[in-house]
Structure 1
């Protein structure tokens, strides 16, 4: 093999290696959207599809990462597996099954299989009919704390998982690490006014 052929083959190999991720992402984009790309620790496949669909519809990818990008669904499944007792786990499964049964009764399909318009209608109905969190004053509840139901509880958990993820905390929200940067020697003029706490 001469040098020219070796360079051509090397260039093709490098191009194929560089282009492979793009081709794979195109193939993945064309794949069926309701398949799972992760292995649930607690939920079965249909329940995990529900959770992923719920997360994706609540927090879709825009200019910022979506809920699936930060793996909020995987985190919640793991949370169910590791922190819920047996009765709590049974209640989660019963709630998911009831949510899907309600969707089937109203729209003819489980939540994960609904169109975007039907998912929006489902969310609007649950938003209107679900109990609200109690009002708070200085971090404490005002009045008795009533159960908020599955929809609002799951929505709150998804938002918590999303905003407490490292990706969102560091790259989307303003990030000021505690206790902050240490600069041991700096001119007094740069300090400015005395800081209030």
Structure 2
């Protein structure tokens, strides 16, 4: 040891500072992983540039085709434009239970199996009219089951679509700092368009 240098004494944290630091580390690690993943999925626009983290490429193509048939692009952006397939990939890998993953994966396999059996092509490569027919048939079957793939896919598509930045800021009205709350007003006063919040 160099005699000219004094050994450093460790600084002690008091209890309040230790709890505060531990809470920040725990909160940052939880929020950093899950919320960042969800936010990243919502900002991406092109399915071709997206590399899925949890679904394989074939599954992502099927998810994209189904989501786009549920919410197709018209005069407003469609599900793919809003980043719904990326959103579903993140939800699949981070938030679904084992049972939900099983139902979802089997549903994707069933979609392609039905498509190949009746039309000798994957669901994603079929014309939209045929895709719509297959989806109508599966939607009818879904009415009899509480845990159905179609119900899950529809709900995730709607959630991903309406919580996306694109839809929240460019399609729906958005006022980040709203004024006074008025509960009962005529719709014509706000422009006949639904609001984000």
TM-score by length of 2: 0.61
2:148 aligned with 1:149: yes
Measure, in 2, the Cα distance between the counterparts of 1:124 and 1:86.
27
Match of 2:120 among 108, 122, 126: 108
Measure, in 2, the Cα distance between the counterparts of 1:63 and 1:55.
17
Q: Output aligned runs, 1:55-74, within 5 Å.
A: 55-74=67-86
How many residue pairs are counted as aligned between the two chains?
A: 138
Match of 1:173 in 2: 172
Measure, in 2, the Cα distance between the counterparts of 1:169 and 1:196.
21
Judge conservation of contact 1:103–1:110 (CA < 8 Å) in 2. Answer: yes
Q: Output aligned runs, 1:15-164, within 5 Å.
A: 36-131=48-143, 147-164=146-163
Judge conservation of contact 2:82–2:166 (CA < 8 Å) in 1. Answer: yes
RMSD: 2.5
Judge conservation of contact 2:103–2:149 (CA < 8 Å) in 1. Answer: no
Judge conservation of contact 2:103–2:148 (CA < 8 Å) in 1. Answer: no
Measure, in 2, the Cα distance between the counterparts of 1:195 and 1:61.
33
Task: Please list the CA deviations of residues 78-125 of structure 1 after superposition, one character each: whole Å capped at 9, or x if unmatched.
Answer: 111111244433432222112211222222222101111211111221
Judge conservation of contact 1:53–1:111 (CA < 8 Å) in 2. Answer: yes
Judge conservation of contact 1:36–1:45 (CA < 8 Å) in 2. Answer: no
Which fold has the larger relative contact order, with Cα–Cα distance below 8 Å and residues 6 or more apart in sequence?
Answer: 2
Unaligned runs of 5+ in 1: 1-34, 133-145, 183-193
Measure, in 1, the Cα distance between the counterparts of 2:158 and 2:110.
22
